Structure 1
Amino acid sequence: MSDRSRPRRPRTRRRRLPLRYLLPSLLLVAVMVMLMLRGYVHSEILADHRVRPEAGTRHVPDKILDGGPVIDTRGGRESSHSVDRHNLVLTFDDGPDPEWTPKVLDVLKKHHAHAVFFVTGTMASRHPGLVRRMVAEGHEVGLHTFNHPDLSYQSTKRIDWELSQSQLALEGAAGVRTSLFRPPYSSFADAMDDASWPVTKYIGSRGYITVVNNTDSEDWKRPGVDEIIRRATPHDGKGAIVLMHDSGGNRAQTVAALDRFLPTLQGDGYKFRNLTEALGTPSAHTPVSGLELWKGRAWVYAVQASENITSVMVAGLAVIGVLVMGRFGLMLLLSALHARRVRRRDFAWGPPVTEPVTVLVPAYNEAKCIENTVRSLMASEHPVEVIVIDDGSTDGTARIVENLRLPNVRVVRQHNAGKPAALNRGLANARYDLVVMMDGDTVFEPATVRELVQPFGDPRVGAVAGNAKVGNRDSLIGAWQHIEYVMGFNLDRRMYDVLRCMPTIPGAVGAFRRSALEPFGGMSDDTLAEDTDVTMALHRAGWRVVYAEKARAWTEAPESVQQLWSQRYRWSYGTMQAIWKHRRAVIERGPSGRFGRVGLPLVSLFMVLAPLLAPLIDVFLLYGVVFGPTEKTVVAWLGVLAIQAVCAAYAFRLDKERMTHLISLPLQQILYRQLMYVVLLQSWITALTGGRLRWQKLRRTGALGSAPGGLPQQRAASVTGDDRRPVA
């Protein structure tokens, strides 16, 4: 059979992960890796602060107990060495410290003295520049483990890790290896006991010389400069290895004592040398190159990156802390002022508004919901005409409305063109100047339209935002959105109302003067958030936009994470588009400038930046629980949650909602923040990469029935839907 006659196998197309999903995923993984690395280097989990009490010395050779402070057990040897007369080896433990080590180095350089710095791997990894300076200025560097544990408690595997990880840091920082080692919590040679001696022998088998001391300044106790000098000074011209510290606390006394100690003893004929100089042996440093050098550098670079990223995240945490506290403070204060104003007996927007109103209902495949929506409007206490704009539905939405044969209800059909086009089509067919806009899945209470249009009694008002409520709140996701609507959206609207910079008229329940919309052509399709776009345009045109909290509408919120993601992704991206579109308001004068310099910054901070940074609260909670300090971290997180709970309870009280749904607030705050973070991050990446986002039709259940002045009744329905929607 020829190749041409053979049946071809169908090609399977590999599905590539879209860039807008790939980049957030990679960024999240990179951030988590950096945080884990930072926690690894700073870890309190890896640290072991146990210190073994003194033990017997039956197995320690007498020549070690009676010998010098330099103990060599390499190659099976058991020998010790001392420093010759008038030679002093200054040793500094626990560094390098970014504050005190440079001052110690400056004093040594000033008096032309050398020393040995026993560094910990964690500090050398975090401050490699100081290690490079030590080596460059002729000092010797030794290892003091990575995390400073008492090695007598550790396994040989842990000891090997402490040594190898410290050497890796030293190689990356200064390009050298060292053969010098000082055990943490060590003292004089005669303090060697049956617990520490096996460790010393094992250290020698790994190629290291153990260095203790025979003169202890006890500077860590901060006994005063004179006392440090007295304790560090050997007697009768003897040579000595002097123990000091350049880290682990305030070392101001050490630096001051060193500045007097060096010239005094130099005047007495002492020389301050490296250990190998004092012993007359080859340098303890061995240069590294090739793979070992690059492995060390990669480690140091990674640690530096983790430190820098963490510093940025800490700054971000400080920013979100200020934003959260500022927002909560503003919401509580201004919401209280708003509630006080609307509850005054003499409060009125102006003369009562009784004129008929046009209600526009854009509908695309809303067969599950449209009957409930239209019937709720027919129960309105205010005279209305209803125009249902069928935007190319394929499920018989228009036919359902027509078959109802309700008075003052019209159906306008058009090819699928998107929500803004549908609303503009409705505006062109509206009979009245006051126009209410709602979604096809929303139901109104009888008083909703009346309450919504009363602010138009003030001729300065161009648009009114209603109070959108979540009707399907029985599920966990629904309950979370219920909290968000009451605590976030509605409390925010009260705040923005007082500040006169309401950023969004919700698509579920809003009202406009048609004459206010006509100058800029009605609803625009420039953004995916046409409601935010038109609201900002009204502000810039000088119209007031207010909030009518009694104008309640019940909407069907997304019932799955995927649907919620799609909705919030569109909202977030559309809001960013609207902010960018109206950015020139910042430099303009008059009403536009006022909105640009008050409204746009608040929207940018509270609706874009704050949600993007808010997950840092939970990231640092997780980091603090794993790496410490656990108690302080948990207390701080609970404090933030308590403030949120107070705001939520106040918002529920204002909206006359039951408090029982707040039980899920802690879980909502943790999980919701992460979802909103990823959604916003994806929106940013879509914007920066020039991506295009489609309108995405949410699946509806038709679970909302009529709402006669209260929570809508619910009926069972199957979940269906159509995801087709035109590109915006």
Structure 2
Amino acid sequence: MNVLKILFWFSLITILYSYVGYGIITTFLVMVKRAFRKKRHLSQPTPFEPAVSLVVSAFNEEDFIERKMQNTLKLDYPKSNLEIIFITDGSTDQTPSIVRQQDGVILLHQQERRGKMAAMSRAMQFVTSDYVIFSDANTLLNESCVREMVKHYRDPKVGGVAGEKKIITTADAQAAGVGEGLYWKYESFLKKMDSALYSVVGAAGELFSIRTKLFENAGENLIIEDFVLSLKICMRGYVIRYEPRAYAIETSSASMKEEEKRKIRISAGAFQAMVILKNLFNIFKYPLLSFLFISHRILRWTLCPLGLVILLISNALILFQEKSFFYGVFFVFQILSYFVGLIGWVLANRNIRIKALYLPYYFIFMNASVFFGFFRFIRKKQTVVWEKAARERMM
């Protein structure tokens, strides 16, 4: 087998493993684990209602902040045990004023905007409970989310709990909405398997919780602070549980242009996170955690986007060297896939909605964003005070 074929098959296997095989393998391992281990029940005869602090980060959310506060105040949890903190640092609109008028909510505000990690760290100085839940201001939480999350803390090994992120898409949703919605459905499945096997590898900032004593300011220049914070907790010997019955509802990006800003920022943050969490590549020190981290995250951030390019080029060069039915058919398949993605891009820009074409377009777009994110990372152009992506209005 020559070098071109080695590159072709390595790229193909890596891509298939990352997007399909990993989910199959973890599902199988979870089934084996459950077959040989008795199911543990977290429920107890007496209610578990410890004091909890809910920290909501908000920046220029005047159009939505009132709804977020009302949603928060309606959470099904004893009011005496739920401390609600809204931090609005840097907001230049009416967000702080609106929060200030609401009883039962603690407002933290300063004019300087230093990023979300800095805001979280400042808010933690005012937290008085043993458990804290973080949530974004542009999301709505289900009423039972606090109860569903804190029940996991009966287990002393649990350092944090990741809630589910649900993307609302409408019948006339654009490519950004359809693609992001499908992505998070699959991502939620993988998180469920990761948690059942060992631990979630990275929580989403829309809704996640930790033990207060485990909070660590890993650097105010962090781009994906929730991801790094949760994995640093895992590196200290704790696990992050996934709780799908605690969820945050969020609308999709308003357009692919807005989704592009979000994806490139996250991609830049991913490379930053790899540097900060470099010890997680030591599979001898963190056997299972490293396996999950590399398989679920690193391959998607590195080898898969590069593999798509190598797969196409090596496939074409192989056909120049020899006639092969398989390589010929696969090359046609690749060309058609990119062509369908191109059509999806054209239709999305013209606001023509054919959802079947949005998936290949979003997949290509998602992987292309990794390259842009990498260049932004090495040029140090991504800051923690980015312009947030506009999202669809929530009904």
Fold similarity call, TM over 0.5: yes
Q: Aligned residue for 1:693?
A: 382
User: Which residue of 486, 491, 515 corresponds with 2:189?
Assistant: 491
- Please report how far the alpha carbon of residue 575 of structure 1 lies from its aligned counterpart in structure 2 after TM superposition: 2.1
- Please report how far the alpha carbon of residue 601 of structure 1 lies from its aligned counterpart in structure 2 after TM superposition: 2.4
Q: What TM-score do the two structures reach when normalised by structure 1? A: 0.45
SS of the residue corresponding to residue 374 of structure 1 reads: helix
Q: Deviations over 1:508-562 (max 9, x none)?
A: 0101110122xxx345324311111111210111111110111111013312112
Q: Aligned residue for 2:72?
A: 377
Q: What pairs up with 1:315-714 in 2 under 5 angstroms?
A: 315-333=10-28, 347-348=41-42, 352-383=47-78, 384-403=82-101, 405-406=102-103, 408-414=104-110, 415-474=112-171, 475-476=173-174, 477-487=176-186, 489-517=187-215, 521-522=216-217, 524-587=219-282, 593-594=286-287, 597-609=290-302, 611-613=304-306, 615=308, 619=312, 632-633=329-330, 664=355, 666-687=356-377, 689-695=378-384, 696-700=386-390, 703-704=393-394, 714=395
CA RMSD of aligned residues (A): 3.7
The answer to whether the Cα contact below 8 Å between 1:437 and 1:507 also exists between their aligned partners in 2 is: yes
SS of the residue corresponding to residue 391 of structure 1 reads: coil
Q: Deviations over 1:553-578 (max 9, x none)?
A: 10133121122111112222212222
Q: Would the alpha carbon gap of residues 423 and 440 (structure 1) be closer, same or farther in structure 2, given more than 3 Å must change?
A: same
Q: Would the alpha carbon gap of residues 324 and 485 (structure 1) be closer, same or farther in structure 2, given more than 3 Å must change?
A: closer
| Amino acid paired to 2:393 | A
| Amino acid paired to 1:471 | I
Q: Would the alpha carbon gap of residues 321 and 502 (structure 1) be closer, same or farther in structure 2, given more than 3 Å must change?
A: same
The answer to whether the Cα contact below 8 Å between 1:585 and 1:595 also exists between their aligned partners in 2 is: no
| Amino acid paired to 2:286 | G
Greater length-normalized contact order (CA 8 Å, ≥ 6 residues apart): 2
Q: Would the alpha carbon gap of residues 373 and 680 (structure 1) be closer, same or farther in structure 2, given more than 3 Å must change?
A: same
- Please report how far the alpha carbon of residue 629 of structure 1 lies from its aligned counterpart in structure 2 after TM superposition: 5.4
Q: Deviations over 1:216-246 (max 9, x none)?
A: xxxxxxxxxxxxxxxxxxxxxxxxxxxxxxx
| Amino acid paired to 1:435 | V
- Please report how far the alpha carbon of residue 401 of structure 1 lies from its aligned counterpart in structure 2 after TM superposition: 1.7
The answer to whether the Cα contact below 8 Å between 1:437 and 1:508 also exists between their aligned partners in 2 is: yes
The answer to whether the Cα contact below 8 Å between 1:466 and 1:552 also exists between their aligned partners in 2 is: yes
The answer to whether the Cα contact below 8 Å between 1:448 and 1:550 also exists between their aligned partners in 2 is: yes
Q: What TM-score do the two structures reach when normalised by structure 2? A: 0.79
The answer to whether the Cα contact below 8 Å between 1:323 and 1:605 also exists between their aligned partners in 2 is: no
Q: Would the alpha carbon gap of residues 471 and 371 (structure 1) be closer, same or farther in structure 2, given more than 3 Å must change?
A: farther
| Amino acid paired to 1:481 | E
Q: Would the alpha carbon gap of residues 319 and 676 (structure 1) be closer, same or farther in structure 2, given more than 3 Å must change?
A: same
Q: Aligned residue for 1:211?
A: none
Q: What pairs up with 1:13-32 in 2 under 5 angstroms?
A: none
Q: What pairs up with 1:261-280 in 2 under 5 angstroms?
A: none
Q: Aligned residue for 2:351?
A: none
User: Percent of aligned positions with the same letter in both sequences?
Assistant: 20
Q: Deviations over 1:38-83 (max 9, x none)?
A: xxxxxxxxxxxxxxxxxxxxxxxxxxxxxxxxxxxxxxxxxxxxxx
| Amino acid paired to 1:550 | R
* Structure 1 spans left out of the alignment, 5+ residues: 1-98, 100-306, 641-662, 705-713, 715-728
| Amino acid paired to 1:525 | E
Q: Deviations over 1:444-494 (max 9, x none)?
A: 01111211221111121111000110124441321221111011x201211
SS of the residue corresponding to residue 125 of structure 2 reads: helix
| Greater shift in the superposed pair: 475-484 or 521-530 | 521-530
Distance 1:701 1:349 in 2: 38
